[in-house]
A and B are shown apart, each in its own frame.
Chain A
Amino acid sequence: MSAAALKCLCCGSSSVVEEDHYTQRQMVCVDCGAVVSEGALTHDTFEGTDISYSRTTAVSKKPCLNQRKGQQQLTALCRVLRVNSEIERIASEYFTQAYEHESFLKVSLQKKETLVGCCVLVSCRQLNWPVSMCTIACLLEADMAMVGGVYHEMIKVLQLEVPHISVSDVMESHCKEYKISSLDVPEGLAEDHRDIQERALSLVELAADSWIVTGRRPVPLMMATVYLAWQSLKPNLVRLNMSLPKFCRIAKVRQNQTAAKRVGEIKSVLCKLGKEIPWVTDPVTSGNVVRYVEDIVKNRYALLRRALRSHEEAMREESQLCCEEANPSEPEDQTLRATSRNSEKSKQPGEGREFKAHQDLEPNWGKRMVFAPPCVIHAKRRRAAAERLEGITGDEEISDSEIDSYIRTPQEAREFAVAQKAWVSQSDQAECE
């Protein structure tokens, strides 16, 4: 039954494609989505031979059924993501190469399906069409760990170089997911996605400068910035009182636990910058900082520089107030750290002093910087490292008593054997019942 000959019963169009729905083949109309016919069991004929290629005399190997299915899935995935034909072609090439490589021969079917997604991901990245791994994992309904594993394996096998994409690249497609245009939600809550995208992008850049982005998953971060952007575009009571989970429900986006934490972190950074705004007189707290987000975002570089400078001054005063025993190289150390990216010249004279100062650094240097990665500021307290055995040569004498302490006495061994037998027979009985 060829697809071309069928006509949709609902809308009458002739563009009916074959699609796999949970491994069952169906004929679906592209225009209206009606299922024209479902595959009966007789339709899925096995088109290959019974004998595997390695045992035949055939010269060239034809792609097996799973490979062809994989290619079809790849095409379907490319259509869902709406990528151009070049990406599809390259992805298809990678899939063929990887599938026929020996390391992917004896892999489970699930991994082969994940391979499809990874090929699309790699070719998208190489041709500058940013797609996040989370999206692919979602579309494939696969676990992130498996996607990661197959992705790394594929890169190693095909020896590909994949350019790195940043959060800002993926931001645009992420923003489009939020259904908060005037068509979907009441007027007071609606916002044009371009405005949100612009504001959220500047918030992401701000977060990147203050060490919130590096090392973190992009999706919770993007969600947090979109939420704050939406709030700050019209900071009225309605929006300010709306919590993050409620916002996600309105925008019909899947909720995320970590996004709330990111909101808190970004707000603390905004507070630090909000304090530096010259025309703001009331104290800036996480409650009212959203009102000032527009000003902060517009003047963020100036505010960053001011924040760093005032922190520098505060540190200098503090160390002067401290007793004279304070290490004289410390304030200079702080100066070097706190200056913005423009001051590379100060690096040279400071190097020698830093060597000495390094030994004196407290374990938590993050608390002394304005902006530091949150994992440093809230460092996990590790249990005290086990006492290091010093001066062992490896050839020492081993005392007999120590070794004997590891060996059971004959009496103990007998008792243990008896107990084990009893336990084994008991568990066998339990299994039989």
Chain B
Amino acid sequence: MTPLQTIDPRRRSRRLEYRSHDRLLNDFAFTPKDSDFPSRAGPPSGSARASTPVPPFSKASGEPADDLDLSFLPDELSVNTQDAEGSAGASQDVDVGLASRHEGEDEDKPSSSSSQLANTGAIFCPMTPMTPMTPVTPMTERSGIIPQLQNIVSTVNLGCPLDLKFIALQARNAEYNPKRFAAVIMRIREPRTTALIFSSGKMVCTGAKSEEQSRLAARKYARVVQKLGFPARFLDFKIQNMVASCDVCFPIRLEGLVLTHQQFSSYEPELFPGLIYRMVKPRIVLLIFVSGKVVLTGAKERGEIYEAFENIYPILRGFRKQ
């Protein structure tokens, strides 16, 4: 699911036209003035293209600049960026109005949303991203392998104290053994997940394969608790950890890797057959095995996993033929 799919096709084509101008504008490095902008959202005519300045999108970081009039941009755009951020797992309360957030979070989430957009690659040319960010590796150098998400851990606050004994009694899918662990373990079939529900009202949901599934599952658990008679709400849903795995399909010389990347890697064959690589940016831990399989964990967002894999792939390629 991409945010692009919900854009009006008319808007999409207009944005493409703006795209090709970006390069020219960046070369000239000029600041647009109010009078230069089209007052209505109409397609710029052919002759006017070179002279009519188009708002340079590369400037849009944080709140829009004072002299930029972005009123002609469609309203749907704000909804789309919200979706991109929501699906990237930003923490939010459903009750709170969504519109107020997206401007502030633009800065935080440029890499995730644009890497999501860049990965779809369908319409946007990845060379000129919408928001400023660190240079992305061009499409031709990419690995072509996409790590698959295997597990998502998220937490949510139901907002009211719970009677665990009552829940264990009334719910079919719950188990509760206070001597062993102080929480109810509840499971649902679709999406196949497990939740730990504590008496304070906090809940941990594990086992989902995507951020949206995790959110849906958490909502289902909250609904079950609601049906049992508690005034449960859905506050502060946050993705805490994401685990993904992939296969590069060639064997890797772990001994070589630990010698050259000593400050990041830890390889102790007596303890664990894989090499533990602690990447600094983004802060992800990778387990690299001799068979070429790589496990990535510690991410709070999907983009971090993709970025980490794109960072490690050229390093692994270097240890392929030795």
A-B contact pairs, 10 of them (CB 8 A): A132-B270, A214-B253, A214-B254, A352-B140, A365-B250, A366-B251, A386-B192, A394-B216, A406-B173, A417-B169
Interface presence of B180 (CB below 8 A)? no
Give the complex CA separation of A358 and B144 in angstroms. 8
CB of A394 within 8 A of CB of B215, answer yes
Interface presence of A148 (CB below 8 A)? yes
CB distance from B195 to the nearest CB of A (A): 11
Interface presence of A62 (CB below 8 A)? no
CB of A164 within 8 A of CB of B291, answer no
- The DSSP consensus for interface residues of chain A is loop
CB distance from B268 to the nearest CB of A (A): 7
CB of B254 within 8 A of CB of A406, answer no
Interface-facing stretch out of A66-74, A91-99, A255-263, A369-377: A369-377
Interface presence of A82 (CB below 8 A)? no
Interface-facing stretch out of A239-247, A268-276, A338-346: A338-346
CB of B173 within 8 A of CB of A144, answer no
Chain B positions near chain A (C-beta within 8 angstroms):
1, 86-87, 140, 144-145, 169-173, 188, 190-192, 209-216, 219-220, 223-224, 227-228, 249-255, 258-259, 262-263, 266-274, 289-292, 321-322
CB of A373 within 8 A of CB of B291, answer yes
Give the complex CA separation of A416 and B167 in angstroms. 13
CB distance from A127 to the nearest CB of B (A): 17
Contact status of A394 and B223, CB under 8 A, knowing A133-B270, A161-B263, A214-B253: no
Chain A residues within an 8 Å CB radius of B173: 406
CB of B172 within 8 A of CB of A148, answer no
Chain B residues within an 8 Å CB radius of A166: 255
Give the complex CA separation of A340 and B320 in angstroms. 11
Chain B residues within an 8 Å CB radius of A316: none
Give the complex CA separation of A307 and B254 in angstroms. 24
Which A361-385 residues sit within 8 Å CB-CB of chain B? 361, 365-366, 372-373, 375-376, 379
CB distance from B215 to the nearest CB of A (A): 4
CB of B290 within 8 A of CB of A134, answer no
CB of A406 within 8 A of CB of B271, answer no
Contact status of A216 and B144, CB under 8 A, knowing A148-B268, A403-B227: no
CB distance from A283 to the nearest CB of B (A): 28
Give the complex CA separation of A30 and B130 in angstroms. 77
A365 — nearest CB in chain B belongs to which residue?
B249
CB of B290 within 8 A of CB of A215, answer yes
B211 — nearest CB in chain A belongs to which residue?
A394
Contact status of A373 and B170, CB under 8 A, knowing A216-B269, A404-B227: no
The 9 closest A-B pairs by CB, nearest first: A394-B215, A394-B212, A215-B273, A148-B271, A215-B290, A214-B290, A133-B270, A392-B212, A373-B290
Give the complex CA separation of A208 and B253 in angstroms. 9
CB of A403 within 8 A of CB of B220, answer yes
0 or 1 for each of A20-61: is its CB under 8 Å from B? (1 = yes): 000000000000000000000000000000000000000000
Which A93-142 residues sit within 8 Å CB-CB of chain B? 132-134
Contact status of A376 and B292, CB under 8 A, knowing A164-B267, A216-B273, A407-B228: yes
CB distance from A419 to the nearest CB of B (A): 11
CB distance from B154 to the nearest CB of A (A): 11
CB distance from B160 to the nearest CB of A (A): 18
Give the complex CA separation of A215 and B169 in angstroms. 48
Interface presence of A337 (CB below 8 A)? yes
Chain B residues within an 8 Å CB radius of A402: 190, 220
Interface presence of A408 (CB below 8 A)? yes
CB of B249 within 8 A of CB of A358, answer yes
CB of B251 within 8 A of CB of A407, answer no
CB distance from B100 to the nearest CB of A (A): 19
Most chain B C-beta atoms within 10 Å of own C-beta, residue among A144, A214, A217, A366: A214
List 19 additional A-B contacts (Cβ < 8 Å) besides A341-B321, A389-B210.
Answer: A148-B272, A161-B262, A164-B258, A166-B255, A208-B255, A214-B251, A215-B273, A337-B321, A352-B140, A372-B251, A373-B290, A376-B291, A386-B209, A392-B191, A395-B215, A398-B223, A404-B227, A406-B173, A407-B172
Chain A residues within an 8 Å CB radius of B144: 355, 358-359
Chain A residues within an 8 Å CB radius of B1: 391, 393
Interface presence of A252 (CB below 8 A)? no
Interface presence of A331 (CB below 8 A)? no
Chain B residues within an 8 Å CB radius of A412: 172
Give the complex CA separation of A365 and B250 in angstroms. 8
CB distance from A410 to the nearest CB of B (A): 9
Chain A residues within an 8 Å CB radius of B192: 386
CB distance from B153 to the nearest CB of A (A): 15
Chain B residues within an 8 Å CB radius of A392: 191, 210, 212-213, 216
Give the complex CA separation of A366 and B145 in angstroms. 18
Interface presence of A388 (CB below 8 A)? yes
Give the complex CA separation of A365 and B1 in angstroms. 32
Contact status of A343 and B263, CB under 8 A, knowing A132-B270, A144-B271, A407-B170: no
Chain A residues within an 8 Å CB radius of B227: 403-404, 407
